[in-house]
Structure 1
Amino acid sequence: MSESPILLTPGPLTTAIETRRAMLRDWGSRDPAFIALTAELRSRLLQVASGEGSHVAVPLQGSGTFIVEAAIATLVGPADKLLVLINGAYGERMVTIARRMGRAVEALRWAEDRVVEPGKVAEALRADPSITHVALVHCETTTGILNPLAEIAAVVAAAGRGFLLDAMSSFGAIGIDLSSVPVTALLASSNKCLEGVPGLGFALVQPAALERAVGNSPSLSFDLHAQWRGFETDGQWRFTPPVQVVAALVEALRRLEAEGGPAGRLRRYQENFDTLWAGMRRLGFALFLDEAVQAPIIATFRMPADGRLEFRRFYDALAARGFLIYPGKLTQAESFRIGCIGALDRRDFERLLEAVAEALRTMEVAA
């Protein structure tokens, strides 16, 4: 067992030693070497989603929520109206952000175990011509459910509205092709499927949308138009960047390319999920989602209905064995979550399953 625990969470997550090693160097943020590193970062992010020529990469200091807030504040203007498609907690957070930014916002909701339905989105857009933008969480981290991106994007494009995509839990593993799927702005962060460390969000945005957004943001730091113009002017960050986080993410992106890009990474994550689900099923656990809509990113398991298993004791028992899981985030059922992402493979999940079985025996919970 390594000194560091295995992180089976939606992020932060277990990173490769090479990625951590990239943080050992100090960088001058205005030095030509770091400016070149930033340029490589922006280029590689676009390559992951085939966004070269159609989008620009705008990184921003902070977590994934920071970049979502920056995008809503910048791209949704004071006279605009946002429709958020919700089947989990992160869609709800978008509504909260829009309201705090003073933007008009409506929500269209589905149950946490149901995907967003393109037909209902089309109906909502026909019924309300004042809606200018639509926002969707691609893979909702609340459950691991995967929403039908291409179909929803097509509906939004046909209606002539802007489309904001939260791809936090999908970017880098579940393929997104910006050359064929109409997305105004894709939002993600460094510390999920890209397997970097926390501290950096980024937006892949159509330049025309940024041009239209000049002066929209009520925030100085979160103004994506100003951030973009800064990069385009001199290649530099407007404010002090997290230089070690940038270096780690560039190394992580190089590793992603070496693994075969998102398709190669998805194969490993799928094997992780398949190993986890087969073993947890043998131990008596049930998935919250139907397998048809389950992404191999994070798995939500129902707590036994008879109350035999108490999450805190279960968490502590696994933590003592070197594995950190996540509590559930559902509104309708007691649950816990296990991430299948990070610098992990099938063997790590086989060890996890042994630890789960040992924990159940220790807690005198029959499998």
Structure 2
Amino acid sequence: MDKNTYKLLTPGPLTTTETVKEEMLVDLCTWDADYKQMTQEIRAALLKLAHAERGYTTVLMQGSGTFGVESVLSSVVGSTDKVLIAVNGAYSKRMTEICRYHHIPYTTVENSYDTVPQADAVEAALLADPAITHIAMVHSETTTGILNNIAEIGKIAVKYGKLFIVDAMSSFGGVDINVPELGITYLISSANKCIQGVPGFSFIIARKDALKATKGMARSLSLDLYAQWETMEQDGGKWRFTSPTHVVAAFRQALRELDAEGGIAARHARYARTNAHLRQGMEELGFRAYIDPSVQGPIITTFLYPQNQAFDFADMYAYLKKHGYVIYPGKLTEQDTFRLGNIGEIYDDDVCRILQIFKDYQKGLK
């Protein structure tokens, strides 16, 4: 075990490397040229990961991933526009909350939490409501671990000339996403997810022509996406307001470590392998996964509470933490669940240890 007393089986914050943590030991000035260059390096690296070096730009935004989603929705959907939100989890549902807070016109295509949004349903909604200008959805729904089909919805967006907003919070960096090829207009993710940095800022990869058209549309001062981008462009990486300097330094190191691991392909392979190992091992111990393997993403798995044995989540949580791992409670309302993430510094040896801890806990219940 490293300096931490436990590792995180969570989808971000997650367990980071010591070298990422060490980058936060240096204090940086937001106005300094070296720091602004660090921001520019990050912006360019993100575009490369997104296959979006032409026609796209990157905006870094203070705050959690939800801040980034709120920045996009409140900045790019105009007063005469309307957004269609494909809902199949708590995080896509949160998009509707953001729209309500900002009085943004929206409608939804509702799906059960164990199914992916279907392109034909989205297309039917567009045909029924010509007022819709934007489509928004989550890629990796960490409510359940489901991986939604953004490629098929992207085709519908392109076919009907709609702007496409994708919350790729828990997938970007761990799943290859060709942003231009998929017709994505705005992609949002966060520093503390698959790139394996620490919490503190989100980032938006935006189609430049679409972003330029939103000048003056923002409903918030601090979350004004266009204004943030304009300042970064005009002042060589300067953030409009105080930025999380230590987090930015850690994120640059995390990007370098992603590259050293072999890029997104290698990281995806590791995540997929540990996810499959964890899911199989848990099911052998009697913990049934909530969603079908065919729609399971490589980031996090939701498990149903076992029915045939004495079970207390708080007790199990405490036992796991005592033995070196922290897990996530469930996010469902209609069923009792808990979640196991496998991103961050989690490897095959960790999965073997985790499964043994669960096994030992079950023995103690008998």
Letter in 2 for 1:339: G
Moved beyond 3 Å, runs of 4+: none
CA distance in 2, matches of 1:200, 1:346: 29
Q: Distance in 1 between matches of 2:365 and 2:48?
A: 48
Aligned pairs for 1:1-367 (under 5 A) are 1-4=1-4, 5-235=6-236, 236-306=238-308, 308-364=310-366
1:54 deviates by 2.2
Offset of 1:278 from its aligned partner?
Answer: 2.2
The Cα shift of 1:2 comes to: 3.5
Q: Distance in 2 between matches of 1:102 and 1:179?
A: 29
User: Structure 2 counterpart of 1:179, which letter?
Assistant: P
CA distance in 2: counterparts of 1:307 and 1:103, whole angstroms:
47
CA contact (8 A) 1:186 1:205 kept: yes
The Cα shift of 1:28 comes to 1.0
C-alpha distance in 1, partners of 2:162/2:152?
Answer: 14
Question: Contact 1:279/1:353 (CA < 8 Å) preserved in 2?
Answer: yes
Q: Work out the CA distance in 2 between the residues paired with 1:46 and 1:101.
A: 29
State whether residues 58 and 227 of structure 1, in contact with CA within 8 Å, keep that contact through their aligned partners in structure 2.
yes
d(CA) in 2 for partners of 1:355 and 1:18? 28
Distance 2:81 2:327 in 1: 40
Q: Distance in 2 between matches of 1:179 and 1:107?
A: 25
Q: Distance in 2 between matches of 1:278 and 1:2?
A: 27
Give the conservation status (yes or no) of the 8 Å contact 2:301–2:340: yes
- Residues 107-130 of structure 1, C-alpha deviations (whole Å, 9 max, x = no match): 111001101101110111011000
- Displacement of 1:207: 1.1
The Cα offsets for residues 168-212 of structure 1, whole Å up to 9 and x where unpaired, read as 010001110023111010000011111000011010001111111
What TM-score, normalized by structure 1, do the two folds share? 0.97
In 1, Cα distance between equivalents of 2:316 and 2:103: 42
Q: Distance in 2 between matches of 1:28 and 1:253?
A: 21
Return the offset for 1:305.
2.4
Please give the alpha-carbon distance, in whole angstroms, between the structure 2 residues aligned to 1:198 and 1:88.
22
Structure 2 spans left out of the alignment, 5+ residues: none
Paired residues of 1:54 and 1:178 also in contact (CA < 8 A)? no
> For the Cα contact (< 8 Å) 2:165–2:185, is it kept in 1?
yes
Code of the residue aligned with 1:142 in structure 2: it is T
Q: Residues of 1 paired with 2:155 and 2:262: CA distance?
A: 28
2:165 aligned counterpart, secondary structure: strand
Give, in angstroms, the shift of residue 34 of structure 1: 0.3
Give me the whole-angstrom Cα distance separating, in 1, the residues matched to 2:3 and 2:326. Answer: 13
CA distance in 1, matches of 2:3, 2:307: 35
Deviation at 1:296, TM superposition (A): 1.2
TM-score of the pair, normalised by structure 2: 0.98
- Give the SS at the match of 1:115: coil
Kept in 2: contact 1:38–1:246 (CA 8 A): yes
Give yes or no for contact 2:55–2:209 (8 Å, CA) kept in 1.
no
Give yes or no for contact 1:197–1:248 (8 Å, CA) kept in 2.
yes
Q: What amino acid maps onto 1:159 in structure 2? A: Y
Identity among equivalent positions (%) equals: 43
| Aligned-pair CA distance for 1:307 | 6.1
C-alpha displacement of 1:3: 4.2
The letter of the residue matching 1:67 is: G
Q: State the 1:332 CA deviation.
A: 2.5
Mapped to 1, the partners of 2:309 and 2:64 lie a distance apart of 35
Secondary structure class of the residue paired with 1:341: coil
Any idea what SS the aligned residue of 1:186 has? strand
User: Residues of 1 paired with 2:295 and 2:261: CA distance?
Assistant: 25
Amino acid at match of 1:49: A
Find the aligned partners of 1:334 and 1:263 in 2 and give their Cα distance.
Answer: 34
Alpha-carbon shift at residue 362 of structure 1 (Å): 2.1
